[in-house]
Chains A and B, each alone.
Chain A
Amino acid sequence: MGLVLVAAFWVSGRGLGASGAIKSVVVTGVKTVAPAHVENTTFYQEYLETHPNPLKEWLVFEMLGVIVGGFLSGAIAGRLKFTVEKSPKITNKTRLIFAVLGGVFFGFGSQLGRGCTSGSALTGMAVLSVGGFVTMAAIFGTAFVLAYFARKLWI
């Protein structure tokens, strides 16, 4: 994984990421559904100024690759299967509700923190940036502290 990261630095001068690609899709979606709303919102206008074509972004192509790469590895190892992964103590419904809720939090947090575990923590630490170490400590520290309250979901 480290070597993939080094390859990204060497080829493109940037590290890996994930959440930025979803933001590209979100902005494109809003633009398609409500173009007038995008015209009147400063945030979208500023974003589109620096990203004129949000779907033609490095991270979008990288994340499409992640889907292909994950699928290939799963296919080779015989792990392709539709399933809901959870602790044996909870129902599928509980697991899916918390998965959506977790996604909402992570999605929001990744925007506030300017990147997720890949873009901010992993890449940020590899380039030795202060922001990377701080975000990493905050993510893992919080999850560790809250683990006790969420234990029924996993163990």
Chain B
Amino acid sequence: MGPLFVNEIISENTNLFLAFIIGIGFGFVLEVNGFSSSRRLAGMFYGYDTTVLKVFFTAAIVGALGLLFLSLFNWIDLSYIYINPAYMYSAIGGGVVMGAGFIMGGYCPGTSFCAASIGKLDALAFIGGMFIGILIFTEGYPLWEDFYNARFLGSPLLSSILGMSRGVFTFLIVLVALGMFWVGEWSEKKFARDDYKLNQK
């Protein structure tokens, strides 16, 4: 049955309309979970607030489990799901640059839009910066084209590289995540701050 769009159950315009609805859901859950707060986002790197880490990994796990269950009931054809390609150099290089941007700016692209929507002016400044950064990339593309396309491995799954089934691998990630949540709880107590309150309005 699914994905609805790929199997031509819904039209392109319906797909775009549903993208808007899905976006509303995404923005809503981001904001409800405090992803609209740069100090909360940065908090995971100093240990005083690890909510973002917990919610982020829970979401990835629910996503992985959801795909697994939907395919089990034949409600979705996994072969139609887009798998991110692995260009090793740019995946690492891009990630490093993004990590630097994260700790300086306190947002990532999705959360900055969410934060700007409730009036955070630092998020608006971050969005302005992103436009500049992307423009630099598109304008200077020939300079980093080789790096961008280097070490292409296709679109492999980590589970198949490790020789595990999807289910076993997902189960292992769940265990790792549970361990991380425990460390998160511990660090929020250890690195608690007087000038920062958890779950602040």
Contacts and interface: CB of A to CB of B under 8 A. Distances in A.
Contacts of A105: 97-98, 100-101, 104-105, 129, 133
B158 A129 contact: yes
A2 B60 contact: yes
A154 to B, nearest CB: 4
A125 B172 CA distance: 13
Contacts of A140: 99
Interface string B74-102: 01100011111111101111111111111
A142 B76 contact: no
Nearest to B156: A130
Interface in A39-78: 41-44, 47, 56, 58-59, 61-74, 77-78
Interface string B113-145: 111111111110111111111111110011010
B75 A10 contact: yes
Interface in A92-128: 95-96, 98-128
A84 B120 contact: yes
Contacts, number: 506
Given A138-B99, A139-B95, A107 B129 contact: yes
A136 B84 CA distance: 12
Q: How large is the interface on B (under 10, 10 to 19, 20 to 34, 35 or more residues)?
A: 35 or more
Nearest to B60: A125
Contacts of B42: 147, 153-154
Nearest to B40: A85
A131 interface: yes
A120 B84 CA distance: 7
B27 A65 contact: yes
A146 to B, nearest CB: 5
Contacts of A117: 56, 98, 102, 108-111
Given A12-B5, A77-B201, A66 B114 contact: yes
A54 B61 CA distance: 31
Contacts of A17: 110
Given A1-B26, A65-B23, A107-B130, 5 more contacts: A9-B66, A10-B3, A42-B141, A117-B56, A127-B81
